[in-house]
């Protein structure tokens, strides 16, 4: 498979850049853009947006779409925050998406973040204290029947 044969949403980050363009209005700068340029299903892209308080990484590699929020030493993934803070509002069950479904997921995720994650994005101390507690909480081990 050559780069020309990849789905456009997998080969280039332009759709994600457009969807997450609202971050500029919150003072974010696009600090890094990586497009792997290969021709395999593992190829993709990464965007890193930054403010002095919070970094947001939006990436798609190995058919996994991830949005990561980082403030100081605390990092939390979108699906974790969706589940723990917002009662699983997104309805997403995971982060694996084939390239042909990626565009709509990128748009849906960006819209959810734009509408509901302002406190996370601006680095609100109370919100990030809450996130730190959730991230650092002991994880229950699954019990076998």
SS3 assignment, position 134: helix
Answer whether residue 65 shows pLDDT above 60: yes
User: Which pLDDT belongs to residue 43?
Assistant: 87
| Res 2: pLDDT | 45
Q: Helix or strand or coil: residue 141? A: coil
Q: What is the pLDDT of residue 1?
A: 41
pLDDT band at 118 (very low <50, low <70, confident <90, very high): very high
Residues contacting 140, CB < 8 A, separation 6+: none
Instruction: Kindly state the DSSP code that residue 52 receives in the 8-state scheme.
Output: S
Confidence of residue 141 (pLDDT cuts 50, 70, 90): low
CA-nearest of 32, 68, 65, 73 to 49 is: 32
Q: Is 143 exposed, middle or buried (0-12, 13-18, 19+ CB in 10 A)?
A: exposed
User: pTM here?
Assistant: 0.90
Report the chain's mean pLDDT, rounded to a whole number: 92
Q: Can you give the pLDDT at residue 33?
A: 96
DSSP codes of every residue in 67-105: EEEEETTEEEEHHHHHHHHHTTTT----SB--HHHHHHH
Percent of the chain with pLDDT over 90: 79
Question: Once rounded to an integer, what is the mean pLDDT over residues 93-113?
Answer: 95
For 122, half-sphere exposure in the C-beta direction (CA atoms, 13 angstrom radius) is: 9
Stretch 73-98: mean pLDDT, rounded? 94
Q: How far is CA 76 from CA 7, 40, 136, in A?
A: 28, 28, 10
């Amino acid at each position: 498979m050559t780069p020309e044969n990849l789905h456009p949403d997998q080969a280039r980050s332009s759709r994600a850049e457009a969807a997450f363009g609202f971050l500029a209005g919150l003072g974010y700068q696009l600090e890094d853009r990586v497009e792997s340029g290969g021709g395999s299903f593992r190829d993709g892209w990464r965007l890193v947006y930054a403010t002095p308080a919070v970094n947001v990484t939006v990436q798609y590699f190995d058919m996994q779409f991830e949005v990561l929020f980082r403030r100081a030493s605390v990092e939390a993934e979108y699906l974790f925050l969706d589940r723990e803070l917002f009662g699983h509002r997104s309805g997403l069950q995971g982060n694996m998406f084939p390239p042909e479904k990626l565009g709509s997921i990128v748009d849906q995720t960006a819209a959810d973040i734009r509408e509901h994650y302002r406190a996370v994005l601006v680095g609100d101390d109370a919100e990030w204290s809450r996130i730190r507690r959730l991230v650092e909480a002991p994880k229950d081990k699954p019990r076998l029947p």
